[in-house]
Each structure stands twice: as C-alpha cells, then as structure tokens.
Amino acid sequence: MANPSPGFAKNPGKVITVEPHPGTVTVTAGGVTIARSDHAQVLTEAPYPPVLYVPFADVDFLQLEKTLRTSHCPWKGDATYWRVRPAGDRGEDAMWAYENPYDEMAAIRDHAAFYPDRVTIETT
C-alpha cells in the first residue's frame, strides 16, 4: 500500500464498511438540489450512524464554496469542507470529503458527504 491507514495499523479489529447504496440519494437545501445520485456509497462505522457518500460527479459544486476547515480521521485521512450556499447559515461546513483517503478507504475518494441536520437528504 502506498498510503496505509495508521488507524487500522494500530487497531486492526476496527471495521468500516463501504457498500453501494441500492437507490437514489437526493440532497437539497433552500429549495435547491445540491446532489442527486444513483451511485452513492454507504459508509458504516460503529458507533456512528451510516453516512451516504455521493460521487463528486453528481454534486453541483456551483452551489458550494470550499472553506478553511479541515479534520483528521486516523482511518479515513484528512477531510476538507464546503459551505452549502442555499442552506444559509446552516450550510457552513455542511459538506465534507476525503479527497485523498487512506488506501483502505479508497471507495470514498471523489465522494462527498453531508450533515443531515444542515441539508435535506432523501433516499429512494
């Protein structure tokens, strides 16, 4: 591996799964569709609720603005954040992505996730 996760190296028993979502994911804010995808991934990591990751190709980046916020996960890597403009104040840092995830989490590369309390996420 070229970019192995230090989290998995220290805790090989940790389980994070990434599987295709079987339906359509639609993300809206302020009456504007931010993302719609039939190719989303579901990341499951106990003890957190499952998170839907939408391919960048299905995200309307014209509705977003990258912010200065970053965070680090020892299993996934460094996350970057975007403001969802149509969500107003609630949209600050409402979307995140692991643009260069560790090798074990390569399935979420070029995918974005959204905080469900800041935007509306519908699945069908």
CATH of the domain at 21: 2.170.150.40
Q: Is residue 1 part of a domain?
A: no
Q: How far apart are CA 15 and CA 42, in angstroms?
A: 14
Cα–Cα nearest to 54, from 28, 85, 92, 86: 28
To the question of pTM greater than 0.85 for the whole model, the response is: yes
Q: What is the mean pLDDT of the chain?
A: 97
What is the average per-residue pLDDT within 77-89? 97
Q: What is the domain extent for residue 34?
A: 6-123
pLDDT at residue 1 tops 80: no
Q: Is residue 62 part of a domain?
A: yes
pLDDT tens sequence across 34-80: 999 999 999 999 999 999 999 999 999 999 999 999 999 999 999 99
Q: How far apart are CA 111 and CA 120, in angstroms?
A: 17
The number of folded domains in the chain is 1
